[in-house]
Amino acid sequence: MHFCRAAVSLAVLAQGIAAAEARECAQSPGKAIELCVEVRDGRATYAVSRRGTPVLAPGELGLSFQGEQIARFAALANPRRKSVDTDWEQPWGEQRVIRDRHNELTVTLSGDTPLNRAVDVTFRIFDDGIGLRYGYGAIAAGQAVKVAADRTQFRPVGRQQAWWYQALGQERDEYLYTQTDARRITLAETPLTLKGDNGVYLSFHEAALVDFPSMLLAGSGTGTLTASLMPAPDGSAAEKTGPFTTPWRTVLIGDSPAALADSRIELNLNEPNRLGDVSWFKPGKYVGIWWEMHLNHSTWGSGWRHGANTANVKRYIDFAAKNGFGGVLVEGWNQGWDGDWIANGEKFSFTRAYPDFDAPALAAYARPKGVRLIGHNETAGAVENYEAQLEDAMAMYAALGVGVVKTGYVRHSGEIVDAQGGKQWFAGQYMVRHHLRVVETAAKHRIAIDAHEPVKDTGLRRTWPNMVSREGARGQEFNAWGVPTNPPEHLTILPFTRMLAGPMDFTPGIFDLAHGQTELTRRVQSTLATQLAEYVVLYSPVQMAADLPENYEARPDAFQFIKDVPTDWEQSRTLQAEIGDYVVVARQERGGEDWYLGAITDENARALRQPLSFLAPGVRYEAQIYADGPQADYRTNPQAYRIEKRVVTRVDVLDLALAPGGGTAIRFRRIR
Question: Quick one: pLDDT band at residue 1, thresholds 50, 70, 90?
Answer: very low
pLDDT at 649: 98
Q: What is the pLDDT of residues 473-507, one digit of tens each?
A: 999 999 999 999 999 999 999 999 999 999 999 99
For 48-60, how does the pLDDT look when each residue is reduced to its tens digit (9 = 90+)? 999 999 999 999 9
Please provide the distance, in angstroms rounded to a whole number, between the alpha carbons at the two ends of the chain: 31
For 593-633, what is each residue's pLDDT tens digit?
999 999 999 999 999 999 999 999 999 999 999 999 999 99
Mean pLDDT of 218-226: 97
**Beta-strand runs (E) in 352-508:** 372-378, 404-408, 416-417, 423-424, 448-451, 467-470
Residues with Cβ within 8 Å of residue 513, at least 6 apart in sequence: 523, 524, 526, 527, 528, 531, 634, 638, 639
- What are the backbone angles phi and psi of residue 355, rounded to the nearest 5°? -60, -25
C-alpha to C-alpha distance for 155 and 151, rounded to whole angstroms: 12
| Catalytically annotated residues | 477
Residue 384: CB atoms within 10 A of its CB come to 15
- Mean confidence (pLDDT) of the chain: 96
Check whether 61 has a pLDDT greater than 80.
yes
Give φ, ψ of 542 to 5 degrees: -120, 120
| Predicted confidence (pLDDT) per residue in 342-387, tens digit | 999 999 999 999 999 999 999 999 999 999 999 999 999 999 999 9
* CB-neighbour burial class of residue 164 (10 A; exposed 0-12, middle 13-18, buried 19+): buried
- pLDDT for the residue 208: 98
Q: What's the pLDDT score for residue 334?
A: 98
Assign 3-class secondary structure to 524-563: CCCCHHHHHHHHHHCCCCEEECCCCHHHHHCCHHHHHHHH
Q: Is pLDDT at 79 greater than 70 in this prediction?
A: yes
User: What is the mean predicted confidence (pLDDT) over 426-431?
Assistant: 97
Strands ordered across the beta sheet of 621-628:
569-578, 582-589, 595-601, 663-670, 621-628, 641-648
pLDDT band at residue 409 under the 50/70/90 scheme:
very high
pLDDT, residue 13, reads 31
pLDDT in tens, 545-557: 999 999 999 999 9
Rounded distance, CA 532 to CA 552, Å?
12
User: What are the φ and ψ backbone dihedral angles of 60, each rounded to 5 degrees?
Assistant: -70, 155
Residues 314-336 have pLDDT tens digits of 999 999 999 999 999 999 999 99
pLDDT at 10 over 80: no
Buried b (16+ CB within 10 A) or exposed e, 233-259: beebbbbbeeebbbbbbbbbbbebbbb
Per-residue model confidence (pLDDT) at position 22: 84
pLDDT computed for residue 548 by the predictor: 98
Position 275, amino acid: L
What percent of the chain shows pLDDT beyond 90?
A: 96
Give the total residue count for the chain: 672
pTM, whole model, 2 decimals? 0.95
**Helix (H) or strand (E) segment spanning residue 223:** none
> Is the pLDDT assigned to residue 6 strictly greater than 50?
no
Q: At what angle do helices 310-323 and 359-366 cross, to 10 degrees?
A: 20
Cα–Cα distance for residue pair 605/284, rounded to 1 Å: 32
Q: Decide: 392 and 437 in contact? Cβ < 8 Å.
A: no
Are the CB atoms for 270 and 459 separated by under 8 Å? yes
What is the tens place of the pLDDT at every residue in 556-601? Answer: 999 999 999 999 999 999 999 999 999 999 999 999 999 999 999 9
For the segment 268-290, what is each residue's pLDDT rounded down to a tens digit?
999 999 999 999 999 999 999 99
**Residue 574 CA from chain centroid, whole number:** 16
